[in-house]
Homo-oligomer: A and B are copies of this chain.
């Protein structure tokens, strides 16, 4: 059968299957609100204590990968894998890990975690801590001493990190800011005061007022449109309209668009999770797997300011604050273009009760005016051909707001098989108040740059680690480094003196798979060594990095021990269900013991087996005045592009026009 015909049949089949399908269920589907409620009730019944139980994570306890894969291949012929929930709670000063069987309404296991580190903070305890601080009499007095109105003071909780202490309590530090004329309190830090709150006891356990620094002015910091005196007209008339009916379908959590299908779910810890991404191959007449699972596994944001109130600002946003918990509702026609389709997400509050985040995802088709492929042919005498296929892609977006910073997390699926992953950084930089009104007044190291009057933007990094469990046409994969090497011409082999050759090497173990990227003279790819094209090439995908950044902290520094995944851009490990987060499961006050860098030290074999790519996307940020008072988006990312995955260009037969034109 020729491939265009196969493709037609595929779409026919696909259409019928969507039209007749009522299997909205997938074993990876996130817990529903009623399952979350059920989990809460089972856990509370099990603990059965007069003491407070606080929930820090509830999510699906996923069936084993092989069970999911069997289910997918057999579908209705196989019994549905049982639904189980995984919960992390605090009770009586201890962290419990509970697995709950929802069919039997019973707790299957209850493990008390005794290692270092604490679970993700929940919103309620942070709010309580802030309230404690703002009503704490010494703090009230400190504000009065500075002539600040206490009702205009807003406080934020800061994780305290770990700096070699032997013992630790579950504490956070509270730092305060000033509103009084602006919503943008981040630009008005109140320096010199630290309130320490014990979260288990929920009381103030430390207070220090060290120094008075004038609060930077409110003028010019407001970004809320309705509060601006006279926002200017942009003279842009451009308006884009998508057809009312999107050309993708949502079948439960499964998205189908063009030749792609994938499962999209919201998780309270990880946020946006892409699973089971596979692409239809008309030559093979079926879907072929690419990515079993992808999500941001950790975010490491160390600031470079050694001041007493600043040195511990080395945030692990995902583990400490929760990427899912901090994901917000998207604003239609602002966060996503007109015509986008939205999905809700569910999580639980401190008491285990479900809460819905409306519009936590958007899905939209991007038509940015790019070109899928083209050629103009003038080489044939008397003829002129120009063939162009415009590019359209599908974007799945979430936006995380981690206090000051907003992260736009996009997974973009392209017709030619590429998955493009991007992170956009916007929101507010963290600033420190200082006396300076001019650069020339600065004679000491201030750990940043003057971005406004009396306002220092602190130098910092962002490292996002992406967990990418690639299953390139099956789960037994290998990691291949193709090195481009300069060769000298020998003798009179050629009038040239040099050329380069590409030599491929399969990486055997984890230690050789740790790579710091630089000026690219190698190609990194993930292949299935058991599946070859007709020409004998191993089917694969290659990694195309964007702008590359490496770490600058020393290996022995405490933040770097915890965020050691930032040392390399690329890590490859054998798949292990328990290795989910590059910075570990319990990151608040962690000591780096349960992290990617430690797991990888075992130097396991990664050849021809189920392997995981961990990609670290980094940014060094030296702030500039344009970043004040709110920062224009800065974007970074990488691509996974098919490399001998297909027998030929998979969009060769794409039509130049879309159906509805």
Contacts and interface: CB of A to CB of B under 8 A. Distances in A.
Contacts of A148: none
Given A127-B381, A240-B241, A622-B484, A424 B376 contact: no
A518 B391 CA distance: 30
Copies in the complex: 2
A537 B337 CA distance: 37
A364 B368 CA distance: 10
A114 interface: no
Nearest to A486: B552
Given A225-B656, A336-B369, A502-B459, A644 B620 contact: no
Interface in A610-661: 620, 622, 624-633, 635, 641-656, 658-661
A34 interface: no
A537 B386 CA distance: 50
Interface stretch (A66-74, A469-477, A491-499, A570-578): A491-499
7 contacts: A228-B653, A236-B257, A240-B367, A375-B427, A497-B556, A498-B553, A548-B548
A441 to B, nearest CB: 8
Interface stretch (A202-210, A443-451, A505-513): A443-451
A632 B554 contact: no
Interface stretch (A4-12, A42-50, A288-296): A4-12
Nearest to A454: B535
Q: Which 10 A-B pairs have the closest CB atoms?
A: A439-B536, A368-B368, A518-B518, A334-B388, A237-B247, A7-B232, A163-B495, A4-B230, A416-B632, A497-B557
B535 A335 contact: no
B520 A547 contact: yes
B337 A390 contact: yes
A296 to B, nearest CB: 17
B620 A231 contact: no
A535 B438 contact: yes
Contact of A493 (B306, B438, B494, B519): B306
Interface in A384-416: 385-392, 395, 397, 399, 401, 403, 406, 408, 415-416
A496 B302 CA distance: 11
Nearest to A177: B379
Contacts of A486: 552-554
Contacts of A542: 624
A156 interface: yes
A311 B494 CA distance: 7
Interface residues of A, number: 193
A167 interface: no
Interface string A132-153: 0000000000000000000000
Contact of A625 (B223, B447, B537): B537
Contacts of A233: 7-8, 11, 655, 659
A208 B156 CA distance: 79
A495 B659 contact: no
A315 interface: no
Given A364-B369, A649-B631, A653-B231, A625 B374 contact: no
A549 interface: yes
A398 to B, nearest CB: 12
A456 to B, nearest CB: 11
Contact of A183 (B377, B516, B646, B658): B377
Contact of A519 (B185, B231, B517): B517
Given A369-B337, A387-B224, A380 B234 contact: no
Contacts of A450: 535-537
Given A306-B499, A340-B369, A546-B546, 8 more contacts: A220-B648, A231-B655, A239-B660, A372-B633, A453-B535, A482-B622, A516-B519, A625-B648
A184 to B, nearest CB: 8
A11 B232 contact: yes
A500 B376 contact: no
Interface in A330-378: 331, 333-337, 339-340, 364-378
A179 interface: yes
Nearest to A559: B496
A205 to B, nearest CB: 18
A27 interface: no
A239 B306 contact: no
A131 B381 CA distance: 9
Contacts of A391: 633
A80 interface: no
A229 interface: yes
A660 B237 CA distance: 6
A260 to B, nearest CB: 11
Contact of A416 (B239, B453, B626): B626
A279 B499 CA distance: 44
A635 B416 CA distance: 13
